[in-house]
């Protein structure tokens, strides 16, 4: 086996993932090849140093409250959804009533009515457009930026 072929196997050797036959191949190669032997020693050193490292753990009471935290987030998310639905319904109803009152108001001229109607329609179209964009982004978001 040449140096290029031994690279991957060397990783398996360090991590204890090889069969006896593969182990013999690696051992034979690093015994004969000084370059790979030096590289092997450096990799072992990295492994030893990281084995001695501990990522900062959390206190037991924080772990105990972990599920409650997740549950609260789920619950609040549902709260926001209902709040948004309610707000949209009320807003739509209010706008409908507003437009109706303008259309049937005899004191307003036709041009003012058209202006207000156009303005309201524009706001509705923009709102729908933003909502649709957000919804689309949310649906796609799971796989965004995945570099595989």
Partner 1 sequence: MKKERSLEYEDEKLILLTQKGKMKAFEILVNRYKKNAYFIALGLVGNSEDAYDLSQDAFVKVYRSINKYNGTSKFFPWFYTILTNLCKNHLKRQNVKKRYLSQETERQKLNSEAQNSSNSEEKLEKLALKEKLLEEIEKLPFKFKEIIVLKHFRDLSYKEISEVLEIPIGSVMSRLYYARKKLKESLKDFRE
In angstroms, rounded to a whole number, what is the distance separating the alpha carbons of residues 132 and 125? Answer: 10
Give yes or no for residue 51 binding partner 1 (CB under 8 A).
Answer: yes
* Cα distance between residue 29 and residue 19, in whole Å: 16
Report how far residue 135's alpha carbon sits from residue 19's, in angstroms, rounded to the nearest whole number. Answer: 50
Instruction: Choose between 106 and 148: whose C-beta lies nearer to partner 1.
Output: 148
71, 98, 117, 136: residue in contact with partner 1 (rule CB under 8 A): 71
Using the contact rule CB under 8 A, the part of the chain among 67-75, 90-98, 104-112, 118-126 near partner 1 is 67-75
64 vs 88, beta carbon nearer partner 1:
64
Q: Choose the binding region for partner 1 from 65-73, 94-102, 109-117, 120-128 (rule: CB under 8 A).
A: 65-73
And the tokens for 106? 């005899």
Residue holding tokens 């041009």?
Answer: 111
């Amino acid at each position: 086996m040449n140096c290029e072929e031994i690279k991957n196997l060397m990783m398996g050797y360090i991590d204890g993932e090889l069969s006896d036959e593969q182990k013999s191949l690696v051992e034979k190669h690093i015994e004969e090849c000084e370059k790979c032997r030096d590289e092997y020693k450096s990799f072992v050193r990295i492994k030893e140093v990281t084995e001695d490292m501990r990522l900062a753990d959390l206190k037991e009471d924080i772990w105990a409250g972990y599920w409650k935290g997740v549950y609260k987030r789920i619950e609040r998310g549902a709260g926001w959804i209902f709040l948004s639905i309610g707000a949209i319904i009320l807003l739509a109803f209010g706008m409908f009533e507003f437009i109706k009152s303008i259309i049937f108001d005899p004191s307003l001229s036709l041009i003012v009515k058209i202006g207000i109607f156009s303005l309201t329609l524009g706001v509705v179209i923009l709102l729908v457009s933003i909502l649709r964009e957000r919804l689309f982004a949310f649906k796609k978001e799971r796989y965004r930026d995945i570099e595989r």
